[in-house]
Amino acid sequence: MPVGTQATVKSMTPEEVEALGFRVILGNTYHLGERPGPALIERAGGLHRFMGWPHAILTDSGGFQVFSLSGLRTMQEDGVVFQSHINGARKFMGPVESMAIQRMLGSDIAMVFDECPPYPCTRDYACQAVDRTIRWAAVCADQPRAQGQLVFGIVQGGVHADLRERCAKALRGMGFDGYAIGGVSVGEPDRLIAQGVADGVAHLPDDRPRYLMGVGLLPQVVDAVARGVDMFDCVMPTRFARNGTVFTRLGRYPVKAAVYREDPRPLEEGCACYVCSRFSRAYIRHLLNAKEMLGPRLVTWHNLFCYARVMDDVRAAIREKRFAAFREDFLNKYNVISADHSAVEK
């Protein structure tokens, strides 16, 4: 899912995102609750109509902001008091408030309000976060929903397998429509990310979607699919694009680097996207260094295309029962430094 935090996938029109093959995007309850506000969006006909997106929308509950805005919030047992990053005003959000905002937004999938613990943190802190997540999830499950709205629970537990097991089993008992693995890729090394995914998935039902939140490097995605994950979101392909980082099937590289000043090649050799069929690395590097808005827009376009095609290939490999071979080949080739990608970052 491309991330559209503020009701937009940055620099892209809904039609362009749709043409790339995406059929679900992510919005954020905390940020849309702050600006422009859920009441305005509800009066406008809901988030789909407000932003002109005809397909599915998943809204993050605001639970990640408990982690990312830790310097601007105060934890309470029944929710969180945030100090607005916009105007400094104090605002309370708990499971009732989060679900009410998501109902007003009219998203297709609403996430429960949870606590995402940081890495590192003490076991005691992680245990308290799991207790709150379970307690808040039960409140969320009882709240009214928009018509047809699904609700997903979120498994927390940090790096502790037993805590993730306890959280997953408690959420399963609440009968959510799908389940997410949260609290990974929050600063821990790759081996602990993979372990956190495995610990979460191990105790989730096979007949419900499994969603890995905020994990988005392509090797991590392909590896998580092998572990049983179905859904992903991450800001990387769009956020990194604004800094000039190009994602390819072999790795990523900074197209703003001087080595590409006169490079006539496309961003990725063999790529069939609009950007690669028309523009050179030299031109896009020029746009980025001249701070022309078209530069980040073109890199975003390519990066999203790259992610969409890899996911297409993943689905095809699963359907054709050759995913294990696909995974091995993809992971072996990724991050290869070759003559064609002399500046790919390891």
Per-residue model confidence as pLDDT tens digits over 207-259: 999 999 999 899 999 999 999 999 999 999 999 999 999 999 999 999 999 99
Residue-wise pLDDT tens digits, 132-161: 999 999 999 999 999 999 999 999 999 999
Residue of 60, 114, 199, 263 marked catalytic: 60
Mean pLDDT of 3-16: 98
Dihedral (Cα; 93, 94, 96, 99), 10-degree rounding: 70
Residue-wise pLDDT tens digits, 25-46: 999 999 999 999 999 999 999 9
Whether the pLDDT of residue 338 is over 50: the answer is no
Domain boundaries, the chain: 14-234, 243-341
Nearby residues of 141 by Cβ (< 8 Å), 6 or more positions away: 112, 151, 174, 175, 176
Residue-wise pLDDT tens digits, 62-87: 999 988 998 999 999 999 999 998 99
Residue-wise pLDDT tens digits, 249-293: 999 999 999 999 999 999 999 999 999 999 999 999 999 999 999
pLDDT of amino acid 68: 92
Is 60 considered catalytic here?
yes
Beta partners for 178?
152
Class for the domain spanning 14-234: alpha beta
Mean pLDDT of 188-217: 95
pLDDT of amino acid 342: 47
pTM of the model: 0.95
Residue of 199, 223, 233, 263 marked catalytic: 233
- What pLDDT band is residue 169 in, cutting at 50, 70 and 90? very high
CB crowding 76-106: b at 16 or more within 10 Å, else e: eeebbebeeeeeeeeeebbbbbbbbbbbbbb
Is 78 considered catalytic here?
no
